A and B are shown apart, each in its own frame.
Chain A
Amino acid sequence: MRIAITGLGVTTPVGGDVATSWAALLAGRSGIRALPREWAQDLPVRFAGTLAEEPPLDRVEARRLDRSQQSAMVASREAWADAGSPEVDPLRMGTVIGTGIGGVITLLDAYDVLKERGPSRISPLTVPMLMPNGPAAVVGLAHNAAAGVHAPVSACASGAEAVAVAARMITDGRADVVIAGGTEAPIHPLTMAGFAAMRALSTRNDDPSAASRPYDIDRDGFVMGEGAGALILESEEHARARGARIYAYLIGAGLTADAHHIAQPDPEGRGAARAILAALADGEASAEDVVHVNAHATSTPQGDSAEAVAIRLALGSAQPAVTGTKSMTGHMLGAAGAAESVFTVLALHHRRVPPTANLDHQDPSIDLDVVHGEPRQLPDGECVALNNSFGFGGHDVALAFRSA
């Protein structure tokens, strides 16, 4: 496949838009912060990657949208404007936005109202705000997307799966232009407690900005983050006909499953390796073409090791420049795969790979060339980059991009 990427948008813990976020990543700047003391005092984990900038929406729009929908709107608007706000026949326009959990803050706040004030006080917006297809629906409505609106749900692979589904809408002939993305607004005491109960989160409360440290020997779990990412996917023909700027091409998507465990990755990385190989085969690319991997790299002890094994299994002796941007953004769950697709595309476009923060002592069992300290220059000429995303449930998604 060969799908043009013509617009990019994000809102993340390191920046409210693409330019700010990218500059922060290149500078190795962390967006992980302590949560408000009173809010977090009873929690085992009291820090997270909160949005660098509150969503710039008007009051009425903001109150009708869950925070996950607000972020999706912000990232989509930026991506759409970045693509030149093209005129598209609604029947040829699609939207695919994934989320891991959906409107969990809305749901839990509504439950508080139910307990305190009774069912008659529940807002009529509760259901549209909590449903996991809500972000895709509100963005689809804003752009008259009548070809189809979809919301893949595969935990932390949702954003990447959305990009894959969006690409298929184009290759299947259902749409010419698709807004693809992922979003998450999971920072609530209940979700923090739930992930902490799984022992999935870092507990480095005394040093939040050092907590997310993918591939480091002292990593102790992931750091919760919130945000959204969006990409405008366009058939090459449509993009060329309107003279659009093409950042890069999405050339392949590999979607597999571990069939191993509900939360643990397969330590042998077989499902993830199959996803990488499928993405490369889809794009008629070889392991040697891959110059860069934006890894899933959440900073969990098992996950990072399993991914390193999977990359070796899929790429053999090739040593692309690997980075883990979650070291700075934290893990934006269902937004991660979309935001990191944006970062992967930017790396190809600017020929620069952001460093992995907090990599003080690389785990010796991890046989990867992990970029750290400062950005890495990529070679000139045609080259391929991968973005990996994996989710609880054993979902494996790899996306392959080729430079424009």
Chain B
Amino acid sequence: MSQEILDGLAVIVNEVAGVPVADIQSDKSFIDDLDIDSLSMVEVVMAAEDKWGVKIPDSEVKNLRTVGDAVAYIEKSTA
């Protein structure tokens, strides 16, 4: 898994929701562990799309349960 994408995503999640960067690890659930609500999740997705030039459709977002899921999706889309 790309550490670079994980680090970038941690910065975004911190920016959007104020979660400490150190808490944002690949096994953490956005909703259950990081307390990211649905609106914040949309913001995270928009920022990730801008940062990596990828498209994350709504139908995919619901599959991105953990931070690791999102990193893997972005990694696959940018490969």
Contact = CB atoms under 8 A, between A and B. Distances in A.
A125 B39 contact: yes
* Contact size range, B: under 10
Contacts of B42: 124
Nearest to B18: A60
A128 B18 contact: no
B43 interface: yes
B18 A58 contact: yes
Contacts of B16: 60
Interface in B17-72: 17-18, 38-39, 42-43, 46
Interface string A107-150: 00000000000001101110010000000000000000000000
B28 to A, nearest CB: 18
Contacts of B43: 123-125
A58 B17 CA distance: 11
A128 B46 contact: no
Contacts of A125: 39, 43
A59 B39 contact: no
A125 B42 CA distance: 9
Report whether over half of chain B's contact residues are helix, strand or loop; otherwise say mixed.
helix
A59 B46 contact: no
B17 A121 contact: no
A121 B46 CA distance: 7
Contacts of A120: 46
Contacts of A124: 38-39, 42-43, 46
B51 to A, nearest CB: 13
A128 B39 contact: yes
Interface in A16-64: 58-60
A52 to B, nearest CB: 27
A124 B38 CA distance: 9
A125 to B, nearest CB: 6
Contacts of A121: 46
A60 B46 contact: no
A59 B43 CA distance: 15
A305 B18 CA distance: 51
A121 B38 CA distance: 16
A133 B64 CA distance: 33
Contacts of B38: 124
A60 B17 contact: yes
A64 to B, nearest CB: 9
Contacts of B18: 58-60
A60 B43 CA distance: 13
Most chain A CB within 10 A, of B38, B39, B42, is at B39
A27 to B, nearest CB: 39
A60 B34 CA distance: 14
A128 B37 CA distance: 14
A237 B70 CA distance: 55
Nearest to B43: A124
A125 B47 CA distance: 14
Given A58-B18, A60-B16, A124-B43, 14 more contacts: A59-B18, A60-B17, A60-B18, A120-B46, A121-B46, A123-B43, A123-B46, A124-B38, A124-B39, A124-B42, A124-B46, A125-B39, A125-B43, A128-B39
Interface of A: 58-60, 120-121, 123-125, 128
10 contacts: A58-B18, A59-B18, A60-B18, A123-B43, A124-B38, A124-B39, A124-B42, A124-B43, A124-B46, A128-B39
The 6 A-B pairs with the shortest beta carbon distances in the complex, nearest first, are A60-B18, A124-B42, A124-B39, A125-B39, A124-B43, A60-B17
